[in-house]
């Protein structure tokens, strides 16, 4: 990836899980490591772009040259992303956003009820960050991720259309793939890049490779989408 292709371009990337509070000491979350999003940030800097990384709670060092904004919940992630939209040219949603959050997080620690074997938590849907941003009249080039266990490309194409995206990176997270160390938590990934070109939808298969290599290809294609 040339070091000037992204010059003058602002790329905003979300990475990692979100954390949805249940009370002051507990939360709902998931196992996203944030590695793919951080690799994208690194590759985006290498392209010469200005890069803002909106990170959920992860244990990763900030790549050199990246402006990192730490958030916890999906609502905070959306608010932070919206605040960057006036200068954003390419938005890449790599975060594993929690689909639901507690309707009303408890103000104080929820106490164990010795005589009640059940506890009911009422959850409400989180906003879909990438779909919300894609629906804006001033939306940048929008790149999403889709993790599927079957019909990977077909489901991802459907997601591309449904969320109003320009490009989607489809990952196979079936058990067979995970056994080979691909996908969540690992350092390697295989994927299919899917993007719109006029009325057409084009695809490019990327075999298993280091996440940083795959990230370069995603950034490169996203920059091409910006020119389309
Ligand atoms: O619908 P699904 O969660 O499979 O879609 C994944 C894509 O949508 C990813 O790009 C993810 O970052 C984004 N997403 C989002 N906000 C949500 C859920 C998913 O931006 N609430």
Q: What is the per-residue pLDDT across 36-72, written as a single tens digit (0 to 9) for each?
A: 999 999 999 999 999 999 999 999 999 999 999 999 9
Farthest CA pair distance, the chain: 65
Look at residues 138, 96, 108 and name the one whose alpha carbon lies nearest to residue 26. 108
Question: Which residue in the list 30, 126, 151, 171 is annotated as catalytic?
Answer: 30
Domain boundaries, the chain: 10-227
What's the whole-number average pLDDT of the chain?
95
Confidence check: pLDDT of 2 > 70: no
**What ipTM was estimated for this complex?**
0.98
Query: For the domain 10-227, what is the CATH code?
Result: 3.40.50.10300
Confidence check: pLDDT of 183 > 90: no
Confirm whether 30 is a catalytic residue: yes
Return the best residue to mutate from 95, 139, 149, 155 for the ligand 1 pocket (most ligand atoms within 8 A of CB). 95
Q: Report angle CA 144, 146, 148 to the nearest 5 degrees.
A: 175
Q: What is the per-residue pLDDT across 138-182, written as a single tens digit (0 to 9) for each?
A: 999 999 999 999 999 999 999 999 999 999 999 988 878 777 877
User: Edge-to-edge strand order for the sheet containing 90-93?
Assistant: 67-70, 50-55, 10-15, 90-93, 141-148, 167-172, 188-197, 200-210
Query: Whole-angstrom Cα distance, residue 3 to residue 141?
Result: 20
């Amino acid at each position: 990836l040339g070091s000037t292709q992204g010059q003058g371009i602002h790329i905003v990337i979300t990475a990692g899980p979100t954390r949805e509070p249940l009370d002051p000491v507990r939360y709902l979350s998931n196992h996203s490591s944030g590695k793919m999003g951080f690799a994208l940030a690194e590759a985006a800097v290498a392209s010469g772009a200005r890069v803002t990384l909106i990170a959920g709670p992860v244990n990763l060092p900030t790549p050199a040259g990246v402006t990192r904004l730490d958030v916890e919940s999906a609502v905070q992630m959306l608010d932070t992303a919206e605040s960057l939209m006036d200068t954003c040219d390419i938005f890449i949603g790599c975060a594993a956003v929690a689909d639901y959050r507690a309707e009303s997080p408890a103000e104080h620690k929820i106490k164990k009820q010795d005589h009640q074997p059940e506890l009911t938590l009422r959850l409400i849907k989180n906003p879909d960050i990438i779909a919300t941003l894609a629906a804006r009249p001033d939306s940048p080039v929008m790149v999403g991720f889709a993790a599927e266990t079957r019909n990977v490309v077909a489901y991802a194409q459907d997601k591309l259309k449904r969320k109003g995206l320009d490009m989607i990176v489809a990952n196979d997270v079936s058990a067979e793939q995970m056994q080979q160390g691909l996908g969540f938590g690992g350092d390697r990934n295989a994927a299919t890049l899917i993007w719109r070109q006029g009325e057409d939808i084009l695809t490019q298969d990327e075999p298993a490779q280091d996440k940083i290599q795959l990230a370069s290809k995603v950034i490169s294609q996203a920059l091409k989408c910006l020119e389309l």
